[in-house]
Amino acid sequence: MRRLFGTDGVRGLANESLSPELALRVSAAAAQLLCRGDGRPLAVVGRDPRASGEMLEAAVIAGLTSTGTDVLSVGVLPTPAVAYLTGRYDACLGVMISASHNPMPDNGIKIFAAGGHKLPDELEDRIEALVDGGELLRPTGRGIGRVLGASGARDHGAVVPEQFSLAGTHDRYVEHLVAATGADLSGLTVVLDCAHGAAAEVGPAAFRAAGATVIAINAEPDGLNINERCGSTHLDRIQAAVPQHGADLGLALDGDADRCLAVDAAGAVVDGDAILAILAIGMQSTGALIEDTLVATVMSNLGLHLAMREAGIAVRTTAVGDRYVLEELRRGGFSLGGEQSGHVVFPDYGTTGDGILTGLRLMARMARTRRGLGDLASVLRSVPQVLINVPVSDKAAVAASREVTEAVREAELALGETGRILLRPSGTEELVRVMVEATDPVRAQHLADDLAKRVAAI
């Protein structure tokens, strides 16, 4: 059986590996498994603004309605907004059409279960089995699902959320974000890089509603420019814009706004590890950090572990992916977790990484302490880290290579207690990520370069 799902849904080149036919079957299979019970089931569907989203949205809606599921189409909204609205409207599933930080030609399908929760591996496997040859439901007549909009559809038995409209769904999400901020942001100025993505409208609206002065950049999506030399994967523009505007900080989102990286007033980057350190210490000071524990992934810098140890905060480590972070958060009842890439999860306020909420909470910490972001971030001293993305034709062959395994073992012996090495296949691209941390940056670069060459040769 092929493996459709990566670390964050189904992703691929739109209209090629991710075809409308596949999108239809994936959504129909998900609905068949997730939308059981009495009454007419409801699904929430949203997308980012990339051009192929219009095509795939039509296919997803066709797949859902073909199983008898009504669809609430909320248009262009961030991934965490779709997750939130799935729970808010008591839907049996939510579907977000987005390839997150990937280039415009790619797209993806992210599926949420009831309550807005990401799917466990076992359920993804069952969806794949249906997609690959299972029998899908095909009701007829009144049993076919309907697409709901602002005009309503109560007359044919569909459950339309009270006072539903596209503007209303956007407003509800903004209200949710402001309520979760925890402080008045008046007096703070932020440059917000929206990556020409899903947060181009609701992102600036949320920060303004929380009291901040907002300078929005890269907030004019045209379907083709999402993530194009902007957003959380290209920080040079926001690094220049923050000092230019005399802003207190900059926040860079990705295409679907489930991650956020920051820039201090001087233009220095504050990555996900530093953001987690700031937020964890802040929550600890108010008693909101459950069991004084932070959840992070294996990609987090050793410096985060050292800073948390100094602050008396334990760190639980998971595999890469915010759903694995969330699983650990739920398992232990913890209140904060995230990734170096900028995915941060607040279980009390959401079921997935939320870049806008992360930025709001970071600014709330600044407002309460009256300290600049650079000052707050100084608590973390990163160990030099080298990350090389190596294009490969077969990720499984690299993982099984005895030559690569032996090279990693030799490098780990050479580092001893002064660093660490991690090789990880990308869950969304044909890449193997080679990461080396060492107190000596020259040594880290040398070892990373050598391992990258070994991986590329497989």
For the annotated catalytic residues, the residue numbers are 100
154 three-state secondary structure = helix
* 264 has binding-site annotation: no
Beta strands in 55-125, from DSSP E residues, in sequence order: 70-76, 93-97, 106-113, 117-118
User: How many CB atoms are located within 10 Å of the residue 220 CB?
Assistant: 11
Q: Which of 151, 110, 136, 180 is nearest to 344 (CA)?
A: 180
CB environment 274-291: b (16+ within 10 A), e (fewer): bbbbbbbbbbbeeeebbe
234, two tokens: 């290209």
Is residue 193 within 8 A of residue 237, CB to CB? The reply is yes
* Coil, helix or strand at residue 92: coil
3-class DSSP state of 31:
helix
Cα 437 from Cα 429, distance rounded (Å): 23
Question: Binding residue per annotation — 100?
Answer: yes
For the record, the structure tokens of 414 come out as: 């050479």
Q: Residue 256 annotated as binding?
A: yes
The token pair that represents 314 in the structure block = 């334990």
292 is in an annotated binding site: no
C-alpha–C-alpha distance, residues 367 and 364, integer Å: 5
Token look-up 């602002």 returns: 150
The angle formed by the CA atoms of residues 299, 371 and 239, to the nearest 5 degrees, is 55
Q: How far is residue 347 CA from its own chain's centroid?
A: 14
Q: Please answer whether residues 97 and 109 qualify as being in contact, where contact means their C-beta atoms are separated by less than 8 angstroms.
A: yes
CB atoms within 10 A of CB 442: 9
Got the DSSP string for 367-402?
HHHT--HHHHHTT--PPPEEEEEEE-S-HHHHHH-H
201 φ, ψ to 5°?
Answer: -100, -55
Q: Where is 204: in which H helix or E strand?
A: helix 202-209
Give CA–CA dist 26/22, Å, rounded: 6
Q: Tell me the backbone φ, ψ of residue 295, rounded to 5 degrees.
A: -105, 130
What is the full DSSP assignment across 319-381? Answer: -SSHHHHHHHHHHHT-S-EE-TTS-EE-TTT-SS--HHHHHHHHHHHHHHHT--HHHHHTT--
Residue numbers in the known binding site for Mg(2+) are 100, 254, 256, 258
Residue numbers in the known binding site are 100, 254, 256, 258
